[in-house]
Amino acid sequence: MEHSEAHSAIVGPRGIWWRPAGKQEKMWVTLAFVWCMVLFAMMPIWHFKGGQNPSGVRSKVSPEDFNARVEKFVADYKVGEDGGMPVVAPPPGSDVYLLGRMWRWYPVLRLKEGAQYTLHLSSVDINHGFSLYPVNLNFQIVPGYDYGLKIVPNKAGDFRIVCNEFCGINHHMMVGKVVVE
């Protein structure tokens, strides 16, 4: 049987690998490193200059606690009902809560155009996806985390919240509502 070549810590590879890197290799390593640094710098630059990534306040919250906050929010500012779902109109500047669960967004929100709110998003069961339609806004809604977004609705109208994270048999039915007036 022929001896086959194996590389390991005991058997070193053959060749001239121990010679110092050549000019071209050094150049490529330098280029790759510089590009890594550019991409690394783009993360904070894009955050501040790009205006795409939201500046949110994140904190841990148990599903029970978040549910309790949502219920208190609904009790405080409920103004009506829409197909069995409470319609909640919080005052400008307040904390707004929206809860995702299989398979609904709770409650219906009524917000004022031009006012600032802190929108708290969380789930009480599994991951859902918050997608504001027809505006292209997407967030992952993760149980155990309260994701607080500073928002200023800048357009009046009826908006739909579509779930964009597959969450079971009725995923496609999970549609919520935000009214901006």
Residue numbers at the binding site for ligand CUA (CB under 6 A): 100, 103, 128, 163, 165-167, 171, 174
The least CB distance from residue 171 to ligand CUA, in Å, is 4
Q: How far apart are CA 132 and CA 175, in angstroms?
A: 10
Query: Quick one: 78 or 171, whose CB is closer to ligand CUA?
Result: 171
∠ at Cα 67 (62, 71), nearest 5°? 150
Q: How far apart are CA 177 and CA 105, in angstroms?
A: 8
For tokens 């809560």, the residue is 97
Could you tell me if residue 114 is left (phi over 0), alpha (psi between -120 and 50 degrees) or otherwise beta? left
The least CB distance from residue 106 to ligand CUA, in Å, is 12
Query: Quick one: 87 or 167, whose CB is closer to ligand CUA?
Result: 167
∠ at Cα 86 (139, 166), nearest 5°? 30
Query: Quick one: 90 or 107, whose CB is closer to ligand CUA?
Result: 107
The least CB distance from residue 103 to ligand CUA, in Å, is 6
The least CB distance from residue 120 to ligand CUA, in Å, is 17
